[in-house]
A and B are shown apart, each in its own frame.
Chain A
Amino acid sequence: MIALIDYNMGNLQSVVNAFQLLREDMRVTQNPEDVRKADAIVLPGVGAFGDGMKNLDKLGLIPVLQEEVRERKKPFLGICLGMQLAAREGTEHGIHQGLGWLDGRVERIEPGPSSYKIPHMGWNNLFVKKDTGLFSGIEDAVYYFVHSYSFCPAPGEEESVAATCWHGKEVVAAVEKENIFGVQFHPEKSQGAGLKLLENFLSAVFPMAYA
Chain B
Amino acid sequence: MLKKRLIVCLLWNNGVIVQSVHFRHTNAVGNALTAVDFFHTWTVDEIIVLDVSRIEADRSNFYQMIRELSRRCFIPLTVGGKIKTVEDMRELFRNGADKIAINTEAVRNPNLITEGAHMYGGQAIVVSIDAKKTEEQTHEVCIQNGSAATGLLAPEWAKTAEERGAGEIFLTSIDCDGSLQGYDIALVRSVSEAVHIPVIASGGVGEWQHFVDGIMQGKADAVSAANIFHFSEQSTRKAKDYMLSHGIDVRKPAYYTVQTPRYPEYKV
Contact = CB atoms under 8 A, between A and B. Distances in A.
Nearest 5 A-B pairs (CB), nearest first?
A192-B256, A13-B96, A123-B3, A146-B123, A11-B93
B140 interface: no
A28 B122 CA distance: 25
Contacts of A14: 70, 74, 96, 98
Contact of A142 (B74, B96, B124, B251): B251
Interface in B84-126: 93-98, 120-124
Interface string A113-126: 00011111111110
B121 A117 contact: no
Interface of B is mostly: loop
B2 A120 contact: yes
Q: Report the interface size class on chain B.
A: 35 or more
Given A17-B71, A47-B121, A123-B251, A191 B3 contact: no
A195 B257 CA distance: 11
Kindly name the residue among A119, A125, A191, A194 whose own CB sees the greatest number of chain B CB atoms within 10 A. A191
A189 interface: yes
A20 B76 CA distance: 17
B258 A195 contact: yes
A14 B92 CA distance: 13
Given A11-B93, A125-B3, 19 more contacts: A13-B70, A14-B74, A116-B2, A117-B198, A117-B221, A119-B122, A121-B123, A121-B168, A122-B3, A122-B198, A122-B222, A123-B5, A125-B1, A142-B252, A144-B76, A147-B123, A190-B74, A191-B43, A191-B74
Contacts, number: 92
A197 to B, nearest CB: 12
Nearest to B222: A122
Contacts of B143: none
A11 to B, nearest CB: 5
20 contacts: A10-B121, A11-B96, A11-B97, A11-B98, A13-B94, A13-B96, A20-B71, A21-B74, A21-B258, A47-B121, A117-B196, A117-B197, A120-B2, A122-B2, A122-B198, A124-B2, A125-B3, A140-B252, A189-B75, A191-B43
Contacts of A146: 123
Nearest to B260: A21
A59 B57 CA distance: 39
B221 A11 contact: no
A57 to B, nearest CB: 20
Nearest to B97: A11
Contacts of A117: 196-198, 221
Interface of A: 10-11, 13-14, 17-18, 20-21, 46-47, 116-125, 140, 142, 144, 146-147, 166-167, 186, 188-192, 194-195
Contacts of A191: 40, 43, 74-75, 256
Contacts of A186: 76
B167 interface: yes
A46 to B, nearest CB: 6
B2 A46 contact: no
Given A11-B94, A11-B96, A14-B96, A144 B121 contact: no
A142 B3 contact: yes
Kindly name the residue among A21, A123, A167 whose own CB sees the greatest number of chain B CB atoms within 10 A. A123
B254 A17 contact: no
Contacts of A190: 74-75
B130 interface: no
B45 interface: yes
Contact of A144 (B75, B95, B222): B75
Contact of A123 (B2, B254, B258): B2
Nearest to A143: B251
Contacts of B76: 144, 186, 189
Nearest to A114: B196
